[in-house]
Amino acid sequence: MTDTKPKNAFDLIYDSGKSIETDQFQFACRGHFSSSITDNILFLTEGNLLSLDTPKIAKKVYYLMVEGLQNITRHQDKTQDGGDYEGGLFIINRHEEAYSITYGNWVATEIKDMLVDRLATISNKEQAELKEYYIEILNNSGFSSKGGAGLGLVDMARKSSGKLSYKFVPVNDGYFYYFNLCIAIDKNNFDDNLTTGYLDQAIALHNEMIGCDAQIIFKGLLNEENVNHLSNQIDTAVRDDPDGDGLGIVMTELLRNVAKHAYNLSNEIGKPGVFLLQKVTGGYAMLSGNYVLESATERLEKVMQKINKLTAEDLNHFVQKNAKDGKSNGTGLIHLRKISGHSIEHEIFVHSTTPPFFILKNQLTK
């Protein structure tokens, strides 16, 4: 789908983190969407919406999410065997001027042709015309076995800001269908032109996720509520995968480390950070990213080198000694090493205009 060189997981999580002060919330996931997964997405997102914006905006975003996620669950492709485009795609990103929500799923050629006609009709109508069109569809009772005959799309267009965006990309003897809509943060000062690149940004992120087999990306405040919902999301997503055993424990320790060491520029409740779940050979990897004080980078490097040199015997001795002495300093990272059995990879990205960005990667593989 793209000729550009795919990013590795470190680059992807760093690029997501660079805009954390302006784009304060992002959640992206790909794969099969069950009702449990969509419920977890809604739980995770609802709290973030209410913490960032007015109840009126949060209610509108939430409604459009429900409608879109129902469409994904209804229409996602279930015939492919674990391919890159099996299932669906969901991305929500809060930009300074608007929320951008993108949905995606594979469609056959005949479905694509039908959608092109329907979307073209909807996109060319103004708000007053959309209301009339909505009533017309209701009166004509045009319903199929998979829902209203475009009724949901019309209603989403009525409640969104600006025009809908969509694109069909050829893949696997069919097309991957991307659908994007926006909700203005301040509708009185909303410029539709500012959102013209949102769909392309979402498609680029999808390609990058496929390139490194990222399943989930979260960007926001890593407070207790968000960590709990992320844990539920991961548990549900990998429930039937034997390689997923133990992910919840690793994720909790990883995000506790963010809560302890992250540098919070805005003094909000929780620490701003990025979390990524990646499928790797024989299991999964988890990455966390957060800003740190420049004065802490040298100490972090020394701590990581020391921990990765520890033998299995050293790890057991350290944990037992700290438990006996009632100490917790360094225990989290030690537990990560002990649980996974792998060295903890890390990288510190240094930039002249922002604090250093510290990324940890821990694998859980057989």
Res 80 pLDDT > 70: no
Is position 214 within any domain? yes
Is position 167 within any domain? yes
Average pLDDT, integer, range 140-146: 52
Is position 307 within any domain? no
Is position 147 within any domain? yes
Q: List phi, psi (to 5°) of 191.
A: -110, 110
Res 1 pLDDT > 50: no
Helix, coil or strand: residue 106: strand
- Which has the closest alpha carbon to 45: 22, 29, 34? 29
**pLDDT score, position 144:** 47
Q: How much of the chain, in percent, has pLDDT values that exceed 90?
A: 29
> How far apart, in whole angstroms, are the C-alpha atoms of residue 8 and residue 5?
9
Is position 197 within any domain? yes
Give all strands (DSSP E) within the chain, no chain letters: 25-31, 88-94, 98-107, 143-144, 147-148, 165-171, 174-184, 214-221, 272-280, 283-291, 345-349, 357-365
Confidence of residue 62 (pLDDT cuts 50, 70, 90): very high
**pLDDT score, position 148:** 46
* pLDDT per residue as tens digits for the range 157-210: 888 888 889 999 999 888 999 999 999 998 888 888 878 899 999 999 999 999
Is position 192 within any domain? yes
Is position 157 within any domain? yes
**pLDDT score, position 336:** 81
Average pLDDT, integer, range 326-341: 72
Is position 259 within any domain? yes
* pLDDT per residue as tens digits for the range 223-265: 778 888 888 888 887 777 777 777 877 887 788 778 777 887 6
* Averaged confidence pLDDT in the chain: 84
**What Rg, from alpha-carbon coordinates, does the chain have?**
22
Number of domains in the chain: 1
Q: Domain range spanning residue 193?
A: 9-291+353-365
